[in-house]
């Protein structure tokens, strides 16, 4: 049977009735934990125009999370804040390029990343399937909260305008952009590239590429756990979180993406509640989602909403 067009695909993901309660309870549990931020100026990575800081804060389960924070030295008034969230295998970059464009930019390293892996380190592969049969201990529960707490760090900074905070990322960063915009109403603009963590169970049927095939590998070993896995992942699926997104958002996909199938990106996009949303679908592109050219669109979009 021929594969249907990506924008016509119907996801088989089902939304748990208590998904909003689950995340409200998780956010409330996280909020009870003091942020305890530590901010240390890094003269080696700073420049004449940009100050760079190494940051640590406390997240869910009292896990200490690291990040890089960068601000322009030459500024007037409070700055728009921008959270940059990382891909699955990548380490968070120092966000000097965003600071150079006028943002107070924070590049967070959620649990398991370097500098955030002393208390939790399932490895790669491993993160995607860690405790996948229990929604309360599944790896991405803490991972999503780490990104949400990074927003709280930006809100805590005197130099940041709390009414102008955005989030952006590609691949896993695209998925985290979706979840963070869904769970933190303070986000005023979001740009998600080739979003991962959307349509988990769809993806293992649509692609034989990793990381999603980690789930298929797991189920080959433990076929009796299929229902538990589906039930758990439904709480973390971007398709099921998208109804909580009300801010302006743009999404990009590569129509030949074998890592994050474009069908899952379209299904997530269709579920977004915001009336101000735009999909960019790039034919002839894979997981890069034409990032070379799309980057300028992201720049203009964020500037429009965060730096008018």
Q: How far apart are CA 283 and CA 278, in angstroms?
A: 16
pLDDT at residue 89, as a whole number: 86
Distances (CA, A) of 185 to 180, 220, 240: 9, 39, 16
Phi, psi of 87 (to 5 degrees): -75, 175
Question: Does 70 reside within a domain?
Answer: yes
Q: How many domains does the chain have?
A: 1
pLDDT at residue 84, as a whole number: 98
Query: Residue 126 sits in which domain range?
Result: 6-306
Q: How far apart are CA 216 and CA 223, in angstroms?
A: 9
pTM: 0.97
Supply the residues annotated as catalytic: 171, 257, 292
Question: Does 38 reside within a domain?
Answer: yes
pLDDT at residue 3, as a whole number: 72
E strand segments, the chain: 38-41, 50-58, 64-72, 79-85, 104-109, 160-170, 187-193, 249-254, 277-282
Which residues of the chain register pLDDT less than 70?
1-2
Which residues have C-beta within 8 Å of that of residue 63, sequence separation ≥ 6?
111, 116, 119, 120, 142, 146
**Position of tokens 């709480």?**
235
Tokens representing residue 207 in the block: 């692609």
Q: How far apart are CA 144 and CA 167, in angstroms?
A: 13
Tell me the torsion sign for CA atoms 15, 17, 20, 26.
negative
Tell me the torsion sign for CA atoms 240, 241, 244, 247.
negative
Q: How far apart are CA 82 and CA 66, in angstroms?
A: 16
Question: Does 1 reside within a domain?
Answer: no
Question: Does 79 reside within a domain?
Answer: yes
- 14: domain CATH number is 3.40.50.1820
pLDDT at residue 4, as a whole number: 79
pLDDT at residue 2, as a whole number: 61
């Amino acid at each position: 049977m021929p594969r249907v067009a990506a924008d016509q695909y119907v996801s088989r993901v089902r939304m748990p009735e208590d998904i909003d309660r689950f995340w409200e309870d998780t956010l409330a549990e996280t909020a009870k934990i003091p942020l305890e931020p530590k901010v240390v100026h890094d003269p080696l990575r700073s420049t004449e125009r940009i100050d760079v800081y190494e940051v640590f804060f406390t997240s869910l389960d009292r896990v200490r999370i690291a990040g890089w924070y960068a601000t322009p030295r030459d500024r007037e008034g409070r700055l728009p804040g921008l959270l940059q969230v990382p891909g699955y295998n990548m380490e968070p970059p120092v966000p000097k390029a965003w600071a150079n464009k006028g943002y107070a930019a924070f590049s967070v390293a959620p649990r398991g990343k370097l500098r955030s892996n002393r208390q939790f380190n399932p490895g790669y592969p491993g993160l995607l399937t860690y405790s996948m049969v229990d929604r309360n201990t599944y790896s991405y529960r803490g991972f999503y909260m780490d990104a949400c707490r990074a927003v709280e760090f930006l809100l805590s900074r005197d130099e940041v305008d709390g009414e102008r905070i955005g989030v952006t990322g590609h691949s896993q960063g695209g998925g985290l952009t979706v979840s963070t915009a869904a769970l933190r109403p303070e986000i005023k603009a979001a740009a998600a590239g080739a979003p991962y963590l959307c349509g988990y169970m769809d993806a293992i049927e649509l692609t034989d590429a990793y990381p999603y095939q980690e789930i298929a590998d797991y189920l080959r070993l433990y076929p009796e756990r299929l229902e538990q896995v589906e039930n758990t992942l439904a709480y973390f699926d971007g398709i099921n979180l998208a109804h909580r997104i009300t801010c302006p958002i743009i999404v990009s996909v590569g129509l030949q993406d074998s890592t994050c199938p474009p069908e899952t990106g379209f299904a997530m996009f269709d579920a977004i509640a915001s009336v101000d949303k735009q999909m960019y679908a790039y034919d002839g592109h894979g997981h890069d989602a034409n990032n070379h050219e799309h980057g300028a669109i992201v720049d203009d979009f964020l500037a429009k909403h965060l730096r008018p």
